[in-house]
Amino acid sequence: MTRTAIVTGGTRGIGAAISTALKTAGYNVVATYAGNDEAAQKFREATGIPIYKWDVSNYEECAAGIARVEEEYGPVAVLVNNAGITRDAMFHKMTPGQWNEVVNTNLNGLFNMTHPVWSGMRDRKFGRIINISSINGQKGQAGQANYSAAKAGDIGFTKALAQEGARAGITVNAICPGYIGTEMVRAIDEKVLNERIIPQIPVGRLGEPEEVARCVVFLASDEAGFITGSTLSANGGQYFC
Ligand code: NDP
């Protein structure tokens, strides 16, 4: 039976590459997004991948959305928690709103999405949870206390849940991308990118979304069944952990 995969934030950037790569690998893929209808429609037209809109920071919306997906496409076998946001500010200027938005989306979103699929995966004795964390959750980043804390939390969540899922055939892994050439990163001033960011990356270039997507396809596969609780860095050598 074809396995169903949900990719949160799967309509743009890294998530779009993940959705497409999983579809190519033979999964029934569903991509979710938060509010950018135009980008989501374009993505659906270009790929044929169905799109669903809900907010990963809201538990009830996640549970209801997942129930709709399972009704249409069958049980979720692969969950890619990719949706994420930044609200950068130096800590002395960071507002409670900036802190909460980032933690609610980037960390609480993992609970909200994973909890509704977990029991089904346990019952079926198979599941793949892949959490997109970040290099900045590993090393910390000035101006991103909120984001670094949430992304480090994603790694702790991964390690704890991997222990709970192992006997039930569920693997839980994290991927930590470095600088990836998505719209967000390419929007950074070219001078800053060329003079300050790229020189910090030993391979001398930004990563491609497809390079992260290939990691996901591997971790989702049957062949990766012995890999759980791991943190896979895809950062061009920028940070070793
Ligand atoms: P983008 O900003 O390009 O895309 C983010 C996606 O997440 C969009 O589809 C967006 O929906 C969705 N999303 C955002 N908030 C929510 C929410 N509350 N509920 C549901 N969906 C939501 O991000 P990237 O591709 O750059 O990043 C993807 C992931 O990779 C993130 O977790 C990010 O932190 C991580 N990452 C990215 C790096 C990079 O260099 N780009 C580096 C390291 C990690 P909509 O289109 O509706 O806004």
Query: Which residue is closest in CA terms to ligand 1's atom 12?
Result: 9
pLDDT, mean of residues 183-202: 90
132 CB under 6 A from ligand 1?
yes
Q: What is the pLDDT of residue 118?
A: 98
Q: Which secondary-structure segment (H or E) carries 55? A: none
Domains of the chain with CATH codes = 4-232 (3.40.50.720)
233 closest CA partner among 110, 133, 106, 83: 133
Query: Which residue is closest in CA terms to ligand 1's atom 3?
Result: 13
Q: Is the pLDDT of residue 32 over 90?
A: yes
Q: What is the pLDDT of residue 186?
A: 82
Q: Distance from the CA of 106 to the center of ligand 1, in angstroms?
A: 9
Span 139-191, pLDDT tens digits: 999 999 999 999 999 999 999 999 999 999 999 999 999 999 998 788 888 99
147 CB under 6 A from ligand 1?
no
Span 87-116, pLDDT tens digits: 999 999 999 999 999 999 999 999 999 999
Task: Sort 198 into a burial class: Cβ within 10 Å, 0-12 / 13-18 / 19+.
Answer: middle
Ligand 1 atom showing the smallest separation from residue 179 Cα: 40
Q: What is the pLDDT of residue 78?
A: 99
81 CB under 6 A from ligand 1?
no
> How far apart, in whole angstroms, are the C-alpha atoms of residue 116 and residue 13?
25
pLDDT, mean of residues 118-129: 98
Contact between 29 and 22 (Cβ < 8 Å): yes
pLDDT, mean of residues 120-132: 98
182 CB under 6 A from ligand 1?
yes
Between helices 108-124 and 59-73, what is the axis angle to 10°? 40
Amino acid residing at 118: W
197 closest CA partner among 217, 218, 173, 181: 181
pLDDT, mean of residues 28-54: 98
C-alpha dist (Å) from residue 102 to 39, 108, 129, 137: 22, 9, 21, 13
Q: Is the pLDDT of residue 33 over 80?
A: yes
Q: Distance from the CA of 116 to the center of ligand 1, in angstroms?
A: 21
180 CB under 6 A from ligand 1?
yes
Active site residues: 147
